Amino acid sequence: MLIALSVTLLGSLSVGLIQESEAAKGQGVGLPQIGSNKVCGDRLCSEPAISHSSQKEYQIDTTSQTGECKSNEGTTRTFYIAADEVEWDYAPLGLNQMKAHEFNEDENVFVENTPDRIGSKYIKALYREYTDETFSKLKPRTSEWQHLGTLGPIIHAEVCDAIKVVFKNNSDELNYSVHPHGVFYDKDSEGSEYNDGTSVNNRSDGIVAPGQIHTYNWSVPQRAGPGPNDPSSIVWMYHSHVDSPMDTNSGLVGPIVITSKGMADSTGRPMDVDREMVSLFTVSDENSSHYLCENLEKFTDETCDNEKLIEDDDFAESNLMHGINGYVYGNLPGQTVQKGEHVRWYLIGMGTEVDLHTPHWHGNTVLWNGMRVDVMELMPASLKTVDFIPDNVGTWMFHCHVNDHISAGMMSLFKVI
């Protein structure tokens, strides 16, 4: 009886909505859409919701792989990026900077180095930028980008540009690649190895052997750029895709920022913002890194031959580094902005089912998709772009609001001056 009643009510509601929709069409308007109000400064805009009949103008042109872009219309932007094996410290200051004290017993689970615990230092593979094709000189990372930490260099481009990534694998033994999200690529520039039915000539991109160089060519069609509800730039990412879980846990992740056509400066950065920030929230599972055995041998008295240790839950927990850009417990440097400037903040999530993150800015708010918030939601392999005009001077917490992640160190500080 209850089921029949529910079906009857649902059917009546559906009929009512259809009738209301038809009536609206007769008056030349569309039904209002959920979340259609936009925020203008501190007030709601009076813009009407986009009607169903007007949505066609926002559809991607599927007749061309590059949308509205013409051949050789944009700039070719070249990046020299290598996968380098480095020693990385998640807590280089040696203190819990959130509380300005030495690490306590619970915090030392993750950062203390003992005969059978690795501590805060790990060998990792990171994307690093070089000045030219010789890969003999690292491109200096300026103070503006100091906060990127383990992230690779930002690849900036504008809609209709071409991106050329000359990639060298500087690993001693491991194969790596560069796989992009969002942009357009042919099979020989996908950077992912799987049984896709292509010829051997089109598969050199998926596995770049140690010491080898591969050039990836990507284009930036309209569909890779900001949509109608996005700001002038949005974030994508690139990462190694030979063994994606292990490659990314080892550290090979970087951001791609695409700016709307006509909104980029000569470097590809958005002209309407004063500063860009990028934050990667992820639990780096060093147990699932290519370098676990090497890290054990370098930083402890143990080896991977000790199966009892490798299978120990407490040992495994000690290698789950809950970081923001590869830093824990407030050790992340360089997050300084000025009051009143226009900051665009790009958020990246990676990881597994434990990587459900809620970035929270204390003392200030951000705009996302027309809504004013101070907490965002990030899923694994998700990407968000927010706008931020800081109005509250001081040193503030920026952290994941998941309780377990707070305790494990997924916290940082940002300054408004």
pLDDT score at 73:
85
Q: What is the pLDDT of residue 62?
A: 35
Beta bridge pairs of residue 308? none
Instruction: Return the structure tokens found at 144.
Output: 């503006």
Distance CA 18, CA 309 (A): 64
Is 50 inside a domain boundary?
Answer: no
* Each residue's pLDDT tens digit, 253-280: 999 999 999 999 999 999 999 999 999 9
SS3 121: strand
Predicted confidence at residue 67, as pLDDT, reads 53
The two tokens of residue 281 are 């929230």
Residue 384 has which token pair? 């968000």
Q: What is the pLDDT of residue 346?
A: 99
Task: Check: CB of residue 82 under 8 Å from CB of residue 135.
Answer: yes
Q: What is the mean pLDDT of residues 71-80?
A: 92
- Residue 84's contacts (CB-CB under 8 Å, 6 or more residues apart) are 125, 126, 127, 128, 170
pLDDT at 47: 36
Which structure tokens are listed for 214?
């591969």
Q: What is the mean pLDDT of residues 367-393?
A: 96
What CATH number corresponds to the domain at position 130? 2.60.40.420
Per-residue confidence at 70, pLDDT binned at 50, 70, 90?
A: confident
Q: How far is CA 71 from CA 68, 75, 161, 180, in A?
A: 10, 11, 10, 21
- Please state the pTM of the whole predicted model: 0.83
CA distances from residue 320 to 152, 269, 316, 409 in whole angstroms, order as listed: 21, 34, 7, 10
Mean pLDDT of the chain: 87
| Alpha-carbon torsion angle 334, 340, 342, 345, nearest 10 | 40
Are the CB atoms for 347 and 281 separated by under 8 Å? yes
With b for 16 or more beta-carbon neighbours within 10 A and e for fewer, the 382-391 pattern comes to: bbbbbebbbe
The answer as to whether 122 is a domain residue is yes
Which of the 8 DSSP states describes residue 138?
Answer: B
- Per residue in 7-16, pLDDT tens? 343 344 343 4
* Residue 29 domain-assigned (yes or no): no
Q: Read off the pLDDT of residues 29-48 as tens digits, 9 standing for 90 and up.
A: 333 333 333 344 443 343 33
**What's the rounded Cα separation, in Å, for the pair 56 and 67?**
14
In this structure, the number of other CB atoms found within 10 A of the CB of residue 376 comes to 21
Model pLDDT, residue 197: 82
Give the separation between CA 218 and CA 69, rounded to whole angstroms: 14
Average pLDDT in the 130-138 region? 98
In a domain, 380, yes or no: yes
Listed in order, strand segments (DSSP E) in 294-393 are 320-324, 336-337, 343-349, 359-361, 366-368, 371-373, 383-388
Beta bridge partners of 156: 257
pLDDT at 132 over 90: yes
Q: Inform me whether the pLDDT recorded for 293 exceeds 90.
A: yes
Residue 62 domain flag: no
Helices within 186-289 (DSSP H only) = 244-250
| Angle, CA 307 vertex, CA 304 and CA 311 arms, to 5° | 110
Cα distance between residue 372 and residue 376, in whole Å = 10
**229: containing domain:** 76-416
Residue 10 lies inside a defined structural domain of this protein: no
Tokens 């950065």, located at residue: 269
The pLDDT value given to residue 43: 38
Average pLDDT over residues 172-188: 96
**Which residue type sits at 56?**
K
Average pLDDT over residues 308-327: 98
Confidence of residue 72 (pLDDT cuts 50, 70, 90): confident
User: Does 51 score more than 80 pLDDT?
Assistant: no
Residue 371 bridge partners (DSSP): 368
- Burial zone of 330 (CB within 10 Å; 0-12 exposed, 13-18 middle, 19+ buried): buried
Q: Yes or no: say if 85 and 125 are a contact pair by the CB < 8 Å rule.
A: yes
Per-residue pLDDT reduced to its tens digit, 283-292: 999 999 999 9
Residue 1 maps to a domain: no
Higher pLDDT, 156 or 68: 156
Domain count, the chain: 1
SS3 (DSSP) at 172: coil
Average pLDDT over residues 379-385: 97
Using alpha carbons, select from 161, 167, 254 the residue that is nearest to residue 215.
167
Q: How far apart are CA 33 and CA 30, in angstroms?
A: 9
The answer to whether position 25 is within a domain reads no
Cα–Cα distance, 265 to 263 (Å, whole number): 7
- Alpha helix (H) ranges present in 262-319? 292-299, 307-310, 313-318
Q: Is the model's pLDDT at 344 over the cut of 60?
A: yes
